[in-house]
Chains A and B, each alone.
Chain A
Amino acid sequence: DAGVTQSPTHLIKTRGQHVTLRCSPISGHKSVSWYQQVLGQGPQFIFQYYEKEERGRGNFPDRFSARQFPNYSSELNVNALLLGDSALYLCASSLVARGRDTEAFFGQGTRLTVV
């Protein structure tokens, strides 16, 4: 079975532009979460979607938005890119929306560079 797949793997954008990152969860997984990992830091939570509804949002500006499609794939959109948005964006999928012991499976990430 395929794991979590993200596209593209690498991306270079100019300040002020818009970017869309995509994620396909593991088959059967209905929950998708997005994390931002700045160089030298641990991942920071951005969004969680479950059954196409937003279930959680981290401390990120409104320039960040996301959605989940009927097939449970997800898009993360970032508007008006800033240099500080340069990071590895990770997508994680899990079977259920919550639970302290619910394992999350991560994709390989999208490396976004804003110049």
Chain B
Amino acid sequence: AQKITQTQPGMFVQEKEAVTLDCTYDTSDQSYGLFWYKQPSSGEMIFLIYQGSYDEQNATEGRYSLNFQKARKSANLVISASQLGDSAMYFCAMRGSNTGNQFYFGTGTSLTVIP
């Protein structure tokens, strides 16, 4: 079974500061991918970053980085230099090599950037 847990329903961060959004996962797959998506109030899910289970280096995409700790089954998203436009819902998701194209999503974290 696949499960994603996001324990922070809401987070606040000062503009220009860094923030970490937590994500833990559980899977029986040996090979899997971890994704973070941003969902603004408009509803669209916007892809941010991807980490493969066999990738030895943490993924980075601009201001986004993924702190991947495989032994702890965690895949935390770090947003550096927060901007007002970063205010949105953030979802951690996983897809396993044996589960086709199906994403398993967490319940999300609402991030508010304070000016």
- Given A48-B100, A56-B100, A88-B43, does the pair A100, B107 have CB atoms closer than 8 Å? no
Q: Is B74 an interface residue (CB 8 A)?
A: no
Q: Is B53 an interface residue (CB 8 A)?
A: yes
- Min CB distance B96 to A, Å, is 6
Stretch of A20-28, A63-71, A76-84, A90-98 with 4 or more beta carbons under 8 angstroms from chain B = A90-98
The answer to whether A101 and B52 touch across the interface, beta carbons within 8 angstroms, is: yes
Determine the residue in chain B with the shortest Cβ distance to A49. Answer: B101
The answer to whether A33 and B45 touch across the interface, beta carbons within 8 angstroms, is: no
Chain B, residues 53-75, CB within 8 Å of chain A (1/0): the string is: 10000000000000000000000
Q: Is B12 an interface residue (CB 8 A)?
A: no
Near B by CB (< 8 A), chain A positions 26-65 give 31, 33, 35, 40-45, 48, 50, 55-56, 58
B105 contacts which chain A residues (CB < 8 A)? 42-44
The answer to whether B43 and A40 touch across the interface, beta carbons within 8 angstroms, is: no
- Given A41-B107, A42-B91, A106-B44, does the pair A101, B101 have CB atoms closer than 8 Å? no
Please report the C-alpha to C-alpha distance between residue A92 and residue B101 in the assembled complex, in whole angstroms: 10
Give the interface centre of A50, A101, A108 by most chain B CB atoms within 10 Å.
A101
Chain B, residues 24-37, CB within 8 Å of chain A (1/0): the string is: 00000101110101
The answer to whether B103 and A104 touch across the interface, beta carbons within 8 angstroms, is: yes
The answer to whether B44 and A55 touch across the interface, beta carbons within 8 angstroms, is: no
- Min CB distance B29 to A, Å, is 8
Please report the C-alpha to C-alpha distance between residue A111 and residue B42 in the assembled complex, in whole angstroms: 10
Determine the residue in chain A with the shortest Cβ distance to B51. Answer: A101
B interface vs A, CB < 8 Å? 4, 29, 31-33, 35, 37, 42-47, 50, 52-53, 91, 93, 95-97, 100-108
Q: Closest 4 CB pairs between A and B?
A: A42-B105, A106-B45, A100-B33, A109-B43
Give 22 A-B contacts (CB < 8 Å), ordered by A residue: A35-B103, A41-B108, A42-B4, A43-B103, A43-B105, A50-B101, A56-B101, A90-B45, A92-B103, A97-B101, A98-B100, A98-B101, A99-B97, A100-B32, A100-B96, A102-B33, A103-B35, A103-B50, A104-B101, A106-B37, A106-B45, A107-B44
